[in-house]
Amino acid sequence: KVTSILPGVTDTALTGSLDKATIEPSRLMTTEAIEKAVLFALTVPANVCPLEISVINQQTPWKVPIIPYQQQHPK
């Protein structure tokens, strides 16, 4: 089986270096939430294959990214 786990921005050492003034810490996922998603994928019955699990913080509105970015289009 292959399952893709697609976590939202998670509170880890990688996100610890982000500018706290530009992000809302309450919108970051916890590592425990991602752990539970992985555990779910590993413990489903043998005849079940969750292909993709997207995990986002419930407080994340779709209109505003957690990490500000500026998308550049090639000219």
User: How confident is the prediction along the chain (75 residues), in pLDDT tens digits per residue?
Assistant: 899 998 888 888 887 777 777 777 777 889 999 999 999 999 999 999 999 998 887 766 555 555 666 666 667
> What per-residue confidence (pLDDT) applies to 51?
93
What sign for the dihedral angle of Cα 33, 38, 44, 49? positive
> What per-residue confidence (pLDDT) applies to 32?
94
Q: Could you give the number of structural domains in the chain?
A: 1
Query: Is the distance from CB of 60 to CB of 12 less than 8 angstroms?
Result: no
Q: Would the pTM count as exceeding 0.75? A: no
CA 16 – CA 23 distance, rounded (Å)? 11
Domain containing 24 equals 1-75
